[in-house]
Amino acid sequence: MIRVMVTGAAGRMGSAVVDAVTAAEGMEVAARVDPALASGPGVFADVPSAVAAGNVDVAVDFTQPTTVYDNARAYLAAGVHAIIGTTGLTDEQIGHIRARAAAGDANVIIAPNFAVGAVLMMRFAAEASRHMERAEIIELHHDTKLDAPSGTALRTAALMEGDPIIHSVRLPGLVAHQEVILGGVGETLTIRHDSLSRESFMPGIVMAVRQVADRPGLTLGLEPLLFSSED
């Protein structure tokens, strides 16, 4: 049984992760971490006190751009594998996490988007960018998202040729959406992905929880889990 700690368990993503882990075979929620939760068994206000309790194998982090790096350091220091969905980590911070994961016993998977369709959208956009003249990215999210541009848009741009411009839209009613528009001579190609509910992220997260112990060091993006030839 994989013992999972959910950090940000009172949030929109974290509460969906608690339900998904509870429903999945072979894993259980051993700790919920969030300052917004009322105290009780298995509930902690912060990551250091949760890892000190020593009852978890894997942490799943959906918190905030300002706290995720300190959380990651605490998981690694405690030898707890980590699945990080929180966006907003800088390249420098990811570099430090990579170095620490390579040097220690705990593995890390960081993915800006756990939805399978979004991973495919990024892959198709990368391929199309090699054949079309220019491209721009429009990412659209709910109005309480803290970071802009989204981690998915930044990752898409990094995978594409031609340094595409990113436009960010924040509106109530949206969940997580992205359009990549590519332009050529007399034609355009639009690749669009929509997460219509947070359930779209759960199969990818559960897959990551199952696999993280067998993936040494840092894995960036869900691609190596989905496309085994890219290990």
Closer to ligand NAP by CB, 27 or 50: give it. Answer: 50
Task: Using CB under 6 A, pick the residue from 114, 132, 140, 154 that binds ligand NAP.
Answer: 114
Is 86 a binding residue for ligand NAP by CB under 6 A? The answer is: yes
Q: Residue 46, interface with ligand NAP (CB under 6 A)?
A: yes
Catalytic site residue from 145, 167, 177, 193: 145
Rounded Cα gap, residues 177 and 167, in angstroms: 12
- The closest of 42, 41, 35, 30 to 63, measured between CA atoms, is 35
SS3 193: strand
- Binding marks (x or -) toward ligand NAP, 171..210, rule CB under 6 A? -----x------------------------x---------
Report the distance separating Cα 176 and Cα 170, nearest Å. Answer: 10
Amino acid letter for position 204: G
User: Which residues have CB under 8 Å from 113's CB, separation 6+?
Assistant: 119, 122, 151, 152, 155, 176, 201, 222
Cβ of residue 148: shortest distance to ligand NAP, in angstroms? 10
Helix (H, G, I), strand (E, B) or coil at 7: strand
- Identify whether the C-beta of residue 98 lies closer than 8 Å to the C-beta of residue 208: no
Residue 193 known to be catalytic: no
Q: CB under 6 A: which stretch of 10-18, 94-102, 129-137, 177-185 binds ligand NAP?
A: 10-18
Please identify, using beta-carbon distances, which residue of 61 and 182 lies nearer to ligand NAP. 61
189: left (phi over 0), alpha (psi -120 to 50) or beta: beta
Question: With binding defined as CB under 6 A, does residue 148 bind ligand NAP?
Answer: no
For residue 76, the minimal CB distance to ligand NAP (Å) is: 15
Total number of residues shown for the chain: 231
Residue from 141, 167, 177, 193 carrying the catalytic annotation? 141
Catalytic residue positions? 141, 145
Residues that bind ligand NAP (CB under 6 A): 7-8, 10-14, 33-36, 46-47, 62-65, 67, 71, 85-88, 111-114, 145, 176, 201
